Amino acid sequence: MSGWLRHFALNVQLRIGWSGAFVILAIIAAIASTVAMVFLLLAAFIWLADRYDALIAGVVLGCLFAAIALITLVACLMTRLRNIERARLELVARRSNTNWLDPKLMAMGLQIGQTIGWRKLASLAAVGLLAAGLAREWSGHDKPPAEDDAPSSES
């Protein structure tokens, strides 16, 4: 998966946090909790019906499946958080990585330079750099100065 489809999948994973492992663990937790409820209800029925023998077996099996459900639920939540963090990191990496040295971009830039002319393109780039520098300088004046020189209260 590459390009827009991968970007869409990462955004969905960032918002929801689901993956194949998450779905499988959620299914295991649902099955285990259902089985736990069946055994606990069966144990309650046997206890009411007989009061001994089968009760202990039902309670032990019910507690075992409840423990399995709890463990898989915790693993499911940990997997979801890990998926969200991994998707967030990959999206940040995709935003910061612009790949200016991509051969397709280099070939396109060479064609644009030949079509427009190198002198016109150089003067256009200089004007763009000047505008970017001015915009950066002017946007820096809106922020209050940082108080890095404040004395620290270390003992």
What are the contacts of 68-72 at 24+ separation with CB within 8 A? 68/28, 68/32, 68/36, 69/29, 69/32, 69/33, 69/36, 72/25, 72/28, 72/29, 72/32
Average pLDDT score over residue span 33-40: 89
In this predicted structure, what is the pLDDT of residue 73?
92
Distance CA 83, CA 4 (A): 19
- pLDDT tens digit sequence for 5-35: 777 777 777 777 777 788 899 899 999 999 9
| C-alpha distances in Å from residue 51, one per residue of 35, 46, 48, 143 | 22, 7, 6, 75
- pLDDT tens digit sequence for 66-125: 898 999 999 999 998 998 898 888 888 777 666 666 777 778 878 887 888 878 878 888
- pLDDT tens digit sequence for 135-151: 877 776 555 555 555 55
How many of the other CB atoms lie within 10 Å of CB of 53? 9
Contact 25/82 with Cβ under 8 angstroms? no
Tokens 């898989």 -> residue: 72
pLDDT above 90: residue 48: no
Q: Where are the domains of the chain?
A: 1-97, 100-140
The pLDDT-based confidence of 2 (bands split at 50, 70, 90) is low
In this predicted structure, what is the pLDDT of residue 155?
47
| C-alpha distances in Å from residue 118, one per residue of 102, 122, 127, 128 | 20, 6, 14, 15
In this predicted structure, what is the pLDDT of residue 70?
93
In this predicted structure, what is the pLDDT of residue 32?
93
